[in-house]
Amino acid sequence: MDVETFAQTPSQAPGRGDRVARTREAIIGSALSLALAGEVAPIVRDIAKMAGVSARTVFQHFADTAELYVAVLSRVLAAALGESPDFNTAWPLDERIAMIIHQSSERGERLLPMWTFVETLQRRSSEASTMVVQLYSANRAQLASWFEHELAALPAESRERTLNALAMTLAPESWVVLRQRLGLTVEQARDELGFVSKAVFNGHAARA
């Protein structure tokens, strides 16, 4: 994530920009740690204490908690978008599906503790909602590239429906349902995603 820095004036001591950036990062990191611990709306007092600063300092860096929460989400989603597995489109379909499920499950497992935080923030912030939409769009584009050959062999309508079904199957919400709502282990959840992903391709291929 880009780190905001304050414009320096000649009267400022050298290195002040670095200190500002470090303080800001400490605040974001503390808020992120609390979100990962299950806090839906981490309070400023706790964030400040963990970051080793005052509550006043927090509000010197962020206009309000909503802005801070969006900065936290930006960091999380930037990390998710930056993931790029060693992937070869020439691999057999089953191997590619297994690789993508591994990547999706790793991402989902990291997001799991803070998913309520993400969902709540989406409802309260249009900026956060836009960020999440961008992540989903990027994931869909990635899937279209990784399964280009299989999708190209399908009629246009089936191609879009197959891609949408696969994107929905591998969305973070699906991992939350499998792990939290159904209580499956990581391996069980991966098996379920593999079963559904293969069924998506097989079903549309059979109707092509």
Question: Over the stretch 175-199, which tens digit does the pLDDT of each residue have?
Answer: 999 999 999 999 999 999 999 999 9
How high is the pLDDT of residue 3? 28
What whole-number distance in Å separates Cα of residue 125 and Cα of residue 151?
35
Cβ-based neighbour number of residue 38 at 10 Å? 13
E-strand ranges in 35-166 read none
CATH of domain 16-73: 1.10.10
Query: What's the pLDDT tens digit per position in 77-132?
Result: 888 777 666 778 889 999 999 999 999 999 899 899 999 999 999 999 999 999 99
pLDDT band at 160 (very low <50, low <70, confident <90, very high): very high
Residue 123 CB-half CA count within 13 A = 7
What whole-number distance in Å separates Cα of residue 198 and Cα of residue 205?
11
What whole-number distance in Å separates Cα of residue 16 and Cα of residue 6?
9
How high is the pLDDT of residue 201? 86
Letter string b/e over residues 167-180, b meaning 16 or more CB atoms within 10 A of that residue's CB: bebbbbebbbebbe
E-strand ranges in 40-175 read none
Q: What is residue 43's three-state secondary structure?
A: coil
> What element of type H or E holds 147?
none
Domain positions in the chain are 16-73, 86-207
Q: Mean pLDDT over residues 47-64, rounded?
A: 96
Q: Mean pLDDT over residues 131-157, rounded?
A: 91
Q: What is the value of pTM for the model shown? A: 0.81
Tokens for 1, please give them: 């994530």
Letter string b/e over residues 95-119, b meaning 16 or more CB atoms within 10 A of that residue's CB: ebbbbbbebbbebbeebbebbbbbb
State the Rg of the chain over Cα: 21
Mean pLDDT of the chain: 87
Determine contact, residues 162/200, Cβ cutoff 8 Å.
yes
* 53: pLDDT strictly greater than 50: yes
How high is the pLDDT of residue 152? 93
Residues, the chain, total? 208
Helices (H), 37-92: 44-51, 55-61, 65-81
